[in-house]
Amino acid sequence: MKNFLTVMLLTVVSATPLAAKSINGAYVGCVSKTALDEFITAAVNEDNRHMQALIGSVCIPINGMEYSIVDRGLIKSQIRVYKGSNSALVWTVSEAVR
């Protein structure tokens, strides 16, 4: 029984996310990789109207939000951002979480 409790405790501790860090910079988080790609393309093309449309539907500004990393990638990473007692799973550029 003692071994079982030790294993359960280790499982809970390892499943607990690390302390959240904060995003520092003008980055966005999007609901999918495709939406993030679309936002990046709009930014490169300086298409402010398209970027605003995406922010109003599938992307959010994440500057100053606390986050934990779910899946770190070379170019894009999936993170969980926190605002108060709410959280959302989003994709952002990996530069935002370095």
What does the pLDDT read at residue 19? Answer: 58
Of the chain, the percentage scoring pLDDT greater than 90 comes to 78
The count of other CB atoms within 10 Å of the CB of residue 82 is 16
**Where in the chain are the domains?**
18-97
pLDDT in tens, 36-74: 999 999 999 999 999 999 999 999 999 999 999 999 999
pTM exceeds 0.85? no
CA 71 – CA 76 distance, rounded (Å): 9
